[in-house]
Amino acid sequence: MAVTFPANFSLTNLQRRLEPGIVYVCGSCRLPIGDHNDWSSDHVGDNVILMKAVSQFVKSGKLTTSSDPGDAGSQYQPLSCNSCHNVLGKFYSSTPANLNYKLNLYNIDKNVIDRYKF
Ligand SMILES: [Zn+2]
């Protein structure tokens, strides 16, 4: 027999953890790039954070086919800061199968950004 749920329900405070908010900013000029709502995952091996969305201050460049050994054959748009032109990362629109986790996400280089908790 199927279990039915009421149309409205609420979580108790015990189940809900209070996570600090995080805002990611350009490491050079401090404009906000995104926040924890846009975050998808951290990828330690590649030293990138994967974001589902970024702020208006992130500019996408021309679609490029990579010849770097790390992501050869993939297609991406380079991402840079709209204000200071700091190179921030890549947005992949096609990848080899082993890099599918990066697909359609903003891959932001952790070395060029800072993060603040609020
Ligand atoms: Zn900047």
pLDDT one-digit tens code per residue, 81-104:
999 999 999 999 999 999 999 999
- C-alpha of residue 109 to centroid of ligand 1, in Å: 13
Comparing CA positions, the residue from 83, 78, 76 lying closest to residue 25 is 83
Contact 23, 39 (CB under 8 A): no
- C-alpha of residue 16 to centroid of ligand 1, in Å: 35
Claim: this prediction has a pTM higher than 0.85? no
- C-alpha of residue 74 to centroid of ligand 1, in Å: 26
Q: What angle do CA 104, 110, 113 make, to 5 degrees?
A: 105
- C-alpha of residue 33 to centroid of ligand 1, in Å: 9
Contact 15, 9 (CB under 8 A): no
Tell me, what DSSP letter sits at residue 27?
T
Q: Which residue ranges form the domains of the chain, and what is each CATH number?
A: 22-117 (2.170.150.20)
Reading the chain (118 residues) residue by residue, the pLDDT tens digits are 566 766 776 766 666 666 678 999 999 999 999 998 888 888 777 899 999 999 999 999 999 999 999 999 999 999 999 999 999 999 999 999 999 999 999 999 999 999 998 8
The two tokens of residue 93 are 């629109």
For the residues of 31-48, what is the DSSP string, one character each? -EEEETTTEEEEETTTTE
| CA 1 and chain centroid, separation | 41
